[in-house]
Every structure is written in structure tokens, then in C-alpha cells.
Structure 1
């Protein structure tokens, strides 16, 4: 598995999501941020919008659930056809059970960590996950500045994955741009969420290609 670029539609024109997703045909996934105004201080899209969006794109949907009680709600996103569903470990009551339930619904199970959440307590969970998401901004709003302080955690996560021999993807979300993506690749990440960098560009798909090229040039 090589570098994957996953544009976030949080910074797209939400009134024309079908057309906006059509502007990124070379993306690997469409990243959809689901926020409930409880776990994070913002309110965004939910399950009905994702179900509607699926009719307008062949790209797989990467649902990032920044919500309370993901144990209750996350399986429904997998059942609705999302290719990957990320829950936050800070909100999950039974992360192993939830990851297995997401997988049983046919989606890839992913666990997200806020910037201040350490990876070490969850080392034994890596084998239960298809992807680990490390946030490099505080979740809730797009357009924030990348937090370099998260780079050591990315390195530690990659070292753990290598030590256990797991095939878990390592996704980074927050402040990803042409200026920051190389640092994340060098730290061990391979899946990148980019929102404002993609949708503020005059040609979003060209930016997807530029991000991929920049990341691949930094791959060991």
C-alpha cells in the first residue's frame, strides 16, 4: 500500500457536495467529518448526507466520527456503505468491540487520537485496527495550523506497528499541505487528509496530484 490522499469535504461547498467530490477524481478516498457539537465544538454532516453523497461518487467514503457515543452510532456508518469508519478512542467505551463490529459490517475500522492523547496505552489494540488516525490539529474546525509536536507520536506509532508486524494504515489529519506532508511521511505516515489545501486550490485535483507527488518523493 502506497501513499493515499484523502481530501476532506469540510472545506468544500457544502451546498454542492456531489459536484465538489467530482472535482477530485484522482483522490483515493473522500473524507467526511461528522461532528456533533458535543465531542467537538462544531456541527457538521451526518448519516443522511453520507447516504446521499454515495449516489454521486464512486470514491470510497472515509467517515471520521468526532461524536459522543460512537459505540452506538459508528456501526450505522459502516452499514450505510462507508469504506472506512473512524471513531475516537477518547469517546469510545469499548473500542475493541466497536472495531470488530465495524469490521463485521464490512468497513475498515479506524481509531482516532487527539493531539494530546498518547499512543502507548493502545499499543495492544493495533491488531484490531485497519487504520490509526493521529490528529495534528485540535479536532473541530478546518484550516488550522499543523502541530509539529505530534511528529514524535507519529514516529512512535509507526515503530509500534513495525514491532508488531501489523498492516495498519497510519493516517494524519490536520494542517496537511505541500509544506507539511513530507515531515509526516518521514515520520511514518502513509494516508493523508487534506481539506483547505485541496479545496482552496484553483484546481483541487491538481493539488491532490501535487500532494501525492510530494509525499512519494519523501517516502524512504
Structure 2
């Protein structure tokens, strides 16, 4: 089963954001990945609805908006209007997670939930059937360029098992420290979406890295 590559624009040079958008549009990438940070849920601030709207207007591919923010339910409709194709919220930021998932669906976009490295897969047992995407954070969220947490691989397998048992349509997305050195391992564990930031935009030839990530031939164990 094929997989998707989602370059994270957080790692791009925002002085030349138009070039980064064009790169993703013309490359073998499948999605744009946009990290929205509020400086409270994570210790960094990135951008909000206005920048998402500017990117979405030029994006020719799926716009994957990852809300690393407190109380994300307040902002679902505005990010959907800004052009998100899918919105992911953090389980840790949502005491009423099922209600927020319903909000995302009612806004007419795909629904995702992200899990921080310390958060167990079991937190999703009661909502997994409602999800289109589950994001496994393979670094602690908030900053790009961190090292991949290899203990995340058994967690991806566990999540793949949960998805199979409950017959969920959810795709497993991995976010954090992903590059050519570990992409095959996470795909073999059951991941279907690779978020790559520094590995792409820090490369001499970003389009080539995207092509190589897309070309990895890995047979996800959970889907055999």
C-alpha cells in the first residue's frame, strides 16, 4: 500500500515562502504539513489562520493543519475557512476530545488526533473509528530539528493493531525527526504518512529527498 509524504513548511525559509510552496506543488510530495503553535501548549509560536490561508490559496495538494495549541475547539471553524483539508488536534489539549472531533467533521474537513511521545495509544480506543488520521509524535512537539525517538516504533505497531481491530480508516502519520535514515522503519511498522521538515528543507536538493522518501518500498505489517 502506498504512502504519503508531507513536507513541513515550519522548516522552510519564510523569507521565500513562495518558493517553498512551489517546491511542494511541483515535487512528488502529497501533502503540505502546517504546524500551528501558540507558545502555551508548546514552547514556541509559529503562525495562525492568516498564514494558513495564504499557503492554502496557492497549495495544489492536501493541506494538513496540525494545531499544537490549547483549547483547539475555539479555532476549528476558522482554520477550516482558512483552507485546511484536514485538522489535527492533540489529545492532551482536549478534555472533551470526542466533541472536538465532531466539530472538525462538522466543519467539513478530515479529522485527526495527535499523541505526544508520553501519551499511550489506549487514549484513542473510544474515538479511533471517528478519525481519518492519527499523528504519532516522534519528538517532543514545539521545535523542528529534533532527534527521532526510536521507542516510538513499537507505539506505531500498537496503533496499527488498534486500527485493524476496530476496522478504522485512520492513517498513521509520523511527525518528528523523520528522514531517509528511519522512514522505512516507520513505514514497516504501519505508518502511512511521513512528515519531514528539516530533512527536506535543510537538504541541498529538497525535491530529491522528497522523491526518495516517496520511493521507499516498505510493506506495512499491519496492512499485509
User: CA separation in 1, counterparts of 2:109 and 2:83?
Assistant: 7
Q: Which residue of 2 aligns with 1:70?
A: 72
Q: Which residue of 1 aligns with 2:22?
A: 22
The question of 1:97 aligning with 2:99 is answered yes
Number of residue equivalences: 219
User: CA separation in 2, counterparts of 1:37 and 1:43?
Assistant: 5
Residue by residue, what CA displacement relative to the aligned partner does 1:142-161 show, whole Å, maximum 9, x if unpaired? 11100001111111000000
CA positional deviation for 1:27: 1.1
Q: Which residue of 1 aligns with 2:191?
A: 189
Q: Which moved more, 1:57-66 or 1:130-139?
A: 57-66
Residue by residue, what CA displacement relative to the aligned partner does 1:55-104 show, whole Å, maximum 9, x if unpaired? 22212211111001111112321232201101001001321111121112
Gaps spanning 5+ residues in structure 1: where? none
Gaps spanning 5+ residues in structure 2: where? none
User: CA separation in 2, counterparts of 1:105 and 1:18?
Assistant: 27
Alpha-carbon contact 1:81-1:107 (below 8 Å) kept:
no
SS of structure 1 residue aligned to 2:125: helix
- What TM-score, normalized to structure 2? 0.94
Alpha-carbon contact 1:182-1:218 (below 8 Å) kept:
no
Moved over 3 A (4+): 217-220
User: CA separation in 2, counterparts of 1:104 and 1:209?
Assistant: 35
User: CA separation in 2, counterparts of 1:32 and 1:45?
Assistant: 9
SS of structure 1 residue aligned to 2:57: helix
SS of structure 1 residue aligned to 2:88: strand
